[in-house]
Homo-oligomer: A and B are copies of this chain.
Amino acid sequence: MRAAFYISDGTAITSEVFGHALLSLFPIEFEHFTIPFVETEQHALEVIEQIKRAYEKTGERPLVFYTMVNLDIGRIISHSVGINYKFLDQFVAPLEKVIGVPSKPEKHRTHSMHEKTYDIRIEAVNYALANDDGSNLKDYQEADIILVGVSRSGKTPTSLYLALQYGIKAANYPFTEDDMGDILKLPPILRRFKNKLFGLTIGADRLQEIRSERRANSRYASIKQCRMELREVENLYRKEMIPFLNSTSFSVEEISAKILATTGLQRRKY
């Protein structure tokens, strides 16, 4: 299996995301190696040795995706036996022409705590944790969005992703049997913040599968119970005109992107 290296003097997240997207266009597998924080020439020399060993082991030249602010260290990587892509570079000169301003690379410009919005993101994570699973109804005033849905429909991971990636304060509230009675009605606390609600729903079979992993053979995990709860919440969403999304075949990344696109909610971080 051919090796792919993602290298940087920072986190290497940019190299990973770019390299991974590019390689995912090919119907073959690669062995991935991320090497962040290559900040000395000594370290860079060790890295090109590692690339050489991967070449000797596989017989195929490794693919090397890298970003590097320090030019001397970048030059060392560019001499590796791999096929080296300093992939941002070829866009810089044309972009300088378009923008009319010379580039000025500095370390830690992305994915660092020096980004203005860093503290906002951490505050949003703390908010999501404190307001997970309907645990803290008094802070809804502060919420950017309140995710609602039945137990195990994807609310918690989505709240955390919105917080960590976008600095959005997302509370989440589970509809339980206590809320259901004969017909599910919107609890008064949610009605007060109705404009912040976003519903999640999920296919009954998938819900049963997820709940069964938690409590096998329980009423909670029975297909009958799953169907009943989902029917109730979907009716409620329609009746109350709460925007909602079926999460069955979507990742948290996709659910979050769709929520932002649907609601027009402004993220705090780019």
Contacts and interface: CB of A to CB of B under 8 A. Distances in A.
Interface of A: 2, 10-14, 16-18, 20-22, 24-28, 32, 34-37, 61, 63, 67, 83, 85, 87-88, 90-92, 95, 98-99, 101, 103-105, 108-113, 115, 118, 122, 125-126, 129, 132, 156-157, 160-161, 164, 249-254, 257-258, 260-261, 270
Nearest to A253: B111
Contacts of A252: 122, 164
Given A28-B101, A113-B250, 6 more contacts: A20-B110, A21-B110, A25-B92, A36-B260, A63-B95, A112-B251
Contact of A25 (B34, B109, B251): B109
Contact of A22 (B13, B34, B91, B161): B91
Copies of this protein, total: 2
Given A36-B257, A160-B164, A164-B161, A98 B61 contact: yes
Contact of A254 (B92, B111, B129): B111
Contacts of A63: 95, 98
9 contacts: A14-B17, A25-B92, A26-B99, A32-B270, A34-B260, A61-B98, A85-B91, A87-B91, A113-B250
A108 B24 CA distance: 10
Contact of A253 (B13, B26, B90, B258): B13
A257 B15 CA distance: 13
B111 A37 contact: no
Nearest to A132: B129
A88 to B, nearest CB: 6
A263 B111 CA distance: 21
By Cβ-Cβ distance, the 4 closest A-B pairs, closest first, are A24-B109, A113-B251, A14-B21, A111-B253
A36 B262 CA distance: 10
A69 to B, nearest CB: 9
A225 B36 CA distance: 34
| Most chain B CB neighbours (cut-off 10 Å) among A11, A12, A67, A90 | A11
A104 B23 CA distance: 10
| Most chain B CB neighbours (cut-off 10 Å) among A12, A251, A261 | A251
A257 B115 contact: no
A246 B166 CA distance: 25
| Most chain B CB neighbours (cut-off 10 Å) among A25, A87, A132 | A25
A9 to B, nearest CB: 12
B253 A156 contact: no
Contacts of A92: 22, 25
Contacts of A108: 254
